[in-house]
Amino acid sequence: MNKKALLDSLRDKLNTQEYEKLLVISNLKALNYIVEAYRLCEPKEIFICTDSEEDLSYIREMALKTGEEKSLNTSGHTYHFDGPKDQARDRKVTKFLVPKDDFLPSYLNQIEREEGLREITELLRGSMREKTMIVRFLTLGPVNSEFTILCMECTDSWYVAHSVSLLYRPGYKAFIQAKNGEEFFYTLHSAGRLNQDMVSVDVEKRRVYIDYTQNTVYSVNTQYGGNSIGFKKLALRLAIRKACSEGWLAEHFMIIGVNSGRGKIYLAGAFPSGCGKTSTAMLPGENILADDLAYLRNIRGVARAVNVECGIFGIIQNVNPQDDPLIYKVLTSPGEIIFSNILVSNGEPYWSGMGKELPSHGINYSGKWYVGKVDEEGNSVPPSHKNARYTVALKALENCDENLDNREGVELGGIIFGGRDYQGYVPVQEGFSWVHGIISYGASLETEATFAVLEEGKFEINIMSIQDFISVSLGKYLKNYIKFGKNLKKVPKVFGVNYFLKDLGSEEFLNSKLDKHVWVKWMAKRVSKELKAIKTPTGLIPKYEDLKILFREVLGRDYFLSNYAKQFMIRVPENLAKIKRVRKFYEGLKDIPDEIFKVLAEQETRLIEAKENFGDYINPACFKEEVL
């Protein structure tokens, strides 16, 4: 079907202005998707967003007019509630659509493509009746860049349409310039039936299906951002497939610009949700470039990276003026912010851990709330959900990095991997090489599943903090990762961090929340070759003398040798047990690169030798070899 025929088929749903907005787009596939979405979902009308201030303002107004969002006292602040059972990513219903003649490993959640399309099509059929279908054109990564991926979302949620205004770069002009046939990612989303509170009703029929053959995400009967904003973790799955086939990396990374004695050093970091990722990216005195997603490419032998997004969809629990002063300042100042699933009382937002006393009553995702409220299962209802969020543009932050929209990205000096490891790794260490670091800290990352997924409280291996989103075999993904580093002329250092280490036989954490700033400064100074490190069986660790100076410079407090001895003790039994668990995990999989088992075996040998020399729990003073 030609362009005119496609547009004419929408004529009764498009006024002259909306028709003309589409008339300048040449990509027939994009136009065809809009036609197919209209025919399937049967919206009352269609709104095309051109990214003009008029169109963006209209989306904000409609989010309020429909009740999907409501205003707060502070100018620009609004709030949105998802339903009580729609508060996190749902692993069980998030599936790949796999053609009969294709194959994905069994550990990837999947459904046969034609069967899945039939199911999702029926759930989407007529889902937008009496509603408006909003069409958003966006880009992943900076516009007109080697990193750029075009994307488009059709949704019936004004909240979702508003959220992407804050999270992604405008792409309408890029689609106008795009040639017919140019590749793009596409999402079709419907919140489904809504109740009087504008909350999805049929959450038991929630489905999030990913058709990688068409770079398409389908999402229905859900509003939670992680399920409905298609270009978060859902499109990450599509990007990972693209990256693995083209030799670059699409990662679950924050990026921070750290000011060291020799200029700004950019560090990327992968942390599972709720493990300190955003708070690391938001360290005071440093610059945030990304808090969640990044693309990495080999540009003339150098690893360069961009933020896929330009905003934050961040967990708000425990954001307070002491631990997160920069975020807290933004959240309590006028400006465009969407709060979700927090407590509202007298027009003010409240959340758990915000550093002040919360009201005894108000409204939240459960409806009217009061101290002592329980749900239908008899469980206590907290004032704000543990996965309550805020959505804000990165440029609203005073520490937003000046290279956010740099089309060439930034040079990465290092990559950090960290999770919730209560008993094993030291607070910060550096890999002996790209391969050692990637495998020992990234491919071996263990953590506790947190409230951002529905199966909270379960300990698991979470490779590179991206395991939920990997859309190829783990072997293929790891081989691409290893090869990427080997092909670089200038290789980033690889670090492992552990903010959650506890004292032996105790529930006491050995790190304070602020200590991470010292670890980050040390990593930056290692990249800039300002400090030496000590070689241990599991990696290179800081010297006590250097940390003593950094604690005084960064945090203005003393750092004692007794703290260092506890924090950087090499716990041989726990590390050997970890290797055993990781090896068992990989032995059950096919196509795993040999480097995995080689690195694990070498680390095991070093630990056993250290145990023979120094015992099970080794004071870092026992290790004497220093390296630059």
Amino acid, res. 512: S
- Per DSSP bridges, beta strands 493-497 and 302-307 are unpaired
Contacts of 565 (CB under 8 A, 6+ apart): 619, 620, 621
Q: Strand, helix or coil at 98?
A: strand
Helix (H) or strand (E) segment spanning residue 110 = strand 110-112
DSSP E strands: which ranges in 175-231? 184-190, 207-211, 216-220
Q: How many CB atoms lie within 10 A of CB 457?
A: 8
The partner residues of 364 in beta bridges, in order of sequence, read 367
Separation CA 349–CA 342 (nearest Å)? 7
Q: Strand, helix or coil at 345?
A: strand
Query: Of 275, 310, 400, 622, which one is the catalytic site residue?
Result: 275
| Active-site residue flag, 622 | no
Three state DSSP letters for 316-338? CCCCCCCCCHHHHHHHCCCCCEE
CA-wise closest residue to 187 among 233, 133, 229, 243: 229
Report phi then psi at 454, rounded to 5.
-75, -25
**Helices and strands (H, E) in the chain, number of each type:** 18, 34
Q: Is 375 buried (19+), middle (13-18) or exposed (0-12) by CB count in 10 A?
A: exposed
Do 310 and 171 touch, CB atoms closer than 8 A?
A: no
Do 224 and 82 touch, CB atoms closer than 8 A?
A: yes
Contacts of 547 (CB under 8 A, 6+ apart): 518, 522, 559, 564
Separation CA 454–CA 297 (nearest Å)? 33
Angle (CA) 312 313 315, round 5°: 115
Gyration radius of the chain's alpha carbons: 25
Instruction: Write out the catalytic residue numbers.
Output: 275
